Amino acid sequence: MKGDTLKNTTELFAEYCDVVSVDDVTKMLKLSKVTVYKLLKSGRIRTIKVGKRYIIPKRCVSEFLESC
């Protein structure tokens, strides 16, 4: 079942690059920037922070959706 979910999210997010921005995540999940930043800071969406910038692998967004 989880494999199917990952496949569905991969298809759903096909238009996005492999690495996405906070703005992209807000569009992908239909959430506010404040909520996305909370998810990133809490570690619920895994990310890499470079300076003040978040680098978010698209697969981490898919993994977050699977965990919900």
What is the CATH number for 12?
1.10.10
> How many domains, the chain?
1
Q: For residue 39, what pLDDT is reported?
A: 98
Q: For residue 8, what pLDDT is reported?
A: 76
The residue among 33, 9, 10 whose CA lies nearest residue 21 is: 33
Q: For residue 1, what pLDDT is reported?
A: 43
User: Would you say 16 and 58 are in contact if contact means Cβ atoms under 8 Å apart?
Assistant: yes
pTM of the model: 0.83
The residue among 63, 68, 57, 50 whose CA lies nearest residue 9 is: 63
pLDDT in tens, the chain (68 residues): 445 555 677 788 889 999 999 999 999 999 999 999 999 999 999 999 999 999 999 999 999 998 88
Domain that holds residue 10: 2-67
